[in-house]
Structures are given as C-alpha cells and as structure tokens.
Amino acid sequence: SQQGEEDPQALSIQEGENATMNCSYKTSINNLQWYRQNSGRGLVHLILIRSNEREKHSGRLRVTLDTSKKSSSLLITASRAADTASYFCATPCPGFKTIFGAGTRLFVKA
C-alpha cells in the first residue's frame, strides 16, 4: 500500500525556474526520504530528513518537514533539463520496509 500522496502529479517548468513538490503521509514517522527516478531506471536517493528536523539542504535541493501536518516538500532551485525525472517521497515502516508516495513527474524545458 502507498503511504503518501504527492502533488502535483506532473509539473512542467522552464530551465532556471524553481520546482516545488509536496508529499503528505498518514502515519507517524522517524524520517522521510526523497528519491529521484529517471525514466525506466532505478531509484537515486536524494535526501533524508529526520522527524526532529524542519528543514534540510543539499546542493540545489531543499526539503522541509512538518510533522504536525504530516507533510513534506522538496524544492529544486535553478532547475536544469537534467532534473527531468520522477520524484518520490518515501517513509519507513516496521520491518525496514519503505513505502512510496505516488510521485511527481517533473519536466524541465531547456
């Protein structure tokens, strides 16, 4: 079963613009992770934010976490065509399982 819902489902922007994706989840979590998937490829781990953190940065990525609203956002600044991919939030479940959100398909136009 899927834990999270993400919006938007699809996002198309111009190169250089910022892209924001949101994720909501249902149960209590210890951490939340974001992954990227290029078309037809495996997953790349982007960033992990723990439940006691509100914001985290990694390069052009900024992730926020609001545990009271059970939501997280991923911001990609100064987007590039190479950022075109699907982005998923993921939360851990008992037994080391990882449950994925529905994903946001990002298309960055050059």
Partner 1 sequence: GAVVSQHPSWVICKSGTSVKIECRSLDFQATTMFWYRQFPKQSLMLMATSNEGSKATYEQGVEKDKFLINHASLTLSTLTVTSAHPEDSSFYICSAPGLAGSRDEQFFGPGTRLTVL
Q: In this complex, which beta carbon is closest to partner 1, that of residue 33 or of residue 72?
A: 33
As given in the structure block, the two tokens for residue 52 are: 């006691």
Q: In this complex, which beta carbon is closest to partner 1, that of residue 13 or of residue 43?
A: 43
Select from 87, 91, 72, 84 the least CA-distant residue to 110.
Answer: 84
CB of 9 to partner 1, least distance (A): 9
Spell out the residues 6+ positions from residue 5 whose beta carbon is closer than 8 angstroms to its own: 23, 24, 101, 102
Strands 10-14 and 104-109: parallel
Q: Which x/- pattern over 45-74 shows residues binding partner 1 (rule: CB under 8 A)? A: x--x--------------------------
Binding site for partner 1 (CB under 8 A): 1-2, 30-31, 33, 35, 40-43, 45, 48, 88, 90, 92, 95-103, 105
